[in-house]
Amino acid sequence: MPSTARPHTPPARARWRRPSLQTLRQFVQLGVVGFIVVITGLHLTLGEESASPEAFCPFGGIETLYSYLTSGRMIDHTHLANLALFLAVVVTTIVARGAFCGWICPFGTIQEWIYAFSRWLQRRIPPLGRAMSALRKRLNPRAARGSAVGPTLGQRIDHWLSYGRYLVLAWFLGATIAYGSMVFRDADPWATLLHITTIQMSIGAVVLGVTLIASLFVERAWCRYACPLGATISLLGRLSPLRIERAESACTSCGLCTQRCPVGIDVARADAITDLRCITCLRCVNECPRPDAIDLRLALPGTRPTATPAPTSGD
């Protein structure tokens, strides 16, 4: 029998939601991905007469930096634009920490989209959603219980795997200097993705496939475990005076910040997020239900957050 109750229609003012900072971030990400798609399309159409999409990867700047400084030459498949972009990443990172990864990197954006698609699928397909939820609870019981002592199994695995990107960085730096060529290009999932129309079975294709599939289960899998540019940014980011700080006195320990972190940082148990994995996407800041519990602050690198006065009352 149909209900006779009048459907609830929220007033127009209530329906409109002010665009959040995350909307702005996604807009920037979309713009960068769109730019790369256009450049790639033009290159496919016009060939060498147009800009190479590989020229817009700052990682190429790292790869050719040694050759450029020692001989004045760029190694194959790199351009002056790669060096300029790497310089831009260095400047941005020294001031604004991991902002390039969180706000600009198109490969990180694509992984975010894939993970968002996975979450959408999990909502649409209940058995899949239940299976993924069970897996998450097994690996991260904190998400279910709200609090726990010590890192969870999932966090420990994530932490150890995160050193993988430093190994990749060390390997490629040594090999590039030794051989004077882009040794990483054959395994680079981003370079492979840029040449997706002519893709062949190769190490790069396998790495790309594994990365995209892993992104269905782990947000930003490549960024977390293998990205050498991310490793470089992490190390440079230590110089940045900007960091996210959490005020213990205002925090309700709801754990939302930890749950929303795209790179798996346990934000809810830190005073200052100096974790090298932080990409400063500010999701934790935006998700926090308490306005002053967590925010972005300007502080001297290496200093500890100052103690916050106890609240006069709390919930």
CA-to-CA dists, residue 24 to 28, 201, 227, angstroms: 6, 37, 25
The nearer residue to other proteins, 259 or 286, going by C-beta atoms, is 286
Q: Rule CB under 8 A: is residue 18 a binding residue for other proteins?
A: no
Options 5-13, 52-60, 221-229, 256-264: segment touching other proteins (CB under 8 A): 52-60
247, 256, 263, 273: which one binds other proteins (CB under 8 A) = 247
Q: Rule CB under 8 A: is residue 289 a binding residue for other proteins?
A: no
Nearest CA to 233 among 278, 193, 272? 278
Count of CB atoms within 10 A of residue 87's CB?
Answer: 13
Subset of residues 82 to 141 that bind other proteins, contact rule: CB under 8 A = 83-85, 87-89, 91-92, 95-96, 99-100, 103-104
Subset of residues 256 to 285 that bind other proteins, contact rule: CB under 8 A = 280, 282, 285
Options 73-81, 123-131, 200-208, 220-228: segment touching other proteins (CB under 8 A): 73-81
Q: Rule CB under 8 A: is residue 55 a binding residue for other proteins?
A: yes
Shortest reach from residue 95's CB to other proteins, in Å: 6
Helix (H) or strand (E) holding 309: none
Shortest reach from residue 230's CB to other proteins, in Å: 16
Q: Do 104 and 29 form a contact (C-beta atoms < 8 A)?
A: yes
Q: How many amino acids of this chain bind other proteins (CB under 8 A)?
A: 61
The nearer residue to other proteins, 150 or 314, going by C-beta atoms, is 314
Report the distance separating Cα 142 and Cα 269, nearest Å.
11
Going along the chain, which residue ranges are E strands?
Answer: 242-246, 272-273, 294-298
Q: Which residue has the tokens 């290159």?
A: 43
Q: Rule CB under 8 A: is residue 28 a binding residue for other proteins?
A: yes
Burial of 245 by CB count in 10 Å (0-12 exposed, 13-18 middle, 19+ buried)? buried
Q: Rule CB under 8 A: is residue 302 a binding residue for other proteins?
A: no
Report the distance separating Cα 150 and Cα 275, nearest Å.
16
CA atoms lying within 13 Å on the CB side of residue 17: 5
Q: Do 136 and 143 form a contact (C-beta atoms < 8 A)?
A: yes
Shortest reach from residue 282's CB to other proteins, in Å: 6
Which residues sit at the interface with other proteins, rule CB under 8 A? 21, 24-25, 28, 47-52, 55-56, 73, 76, 79-81, 83-85, 87-89, 91-92, 95-96, 99-100, 103-104, 181, 242, 245, 247, 249-250, 280, 282, 285-286, 291-293, 295-300, 303, 305-309, 311-315
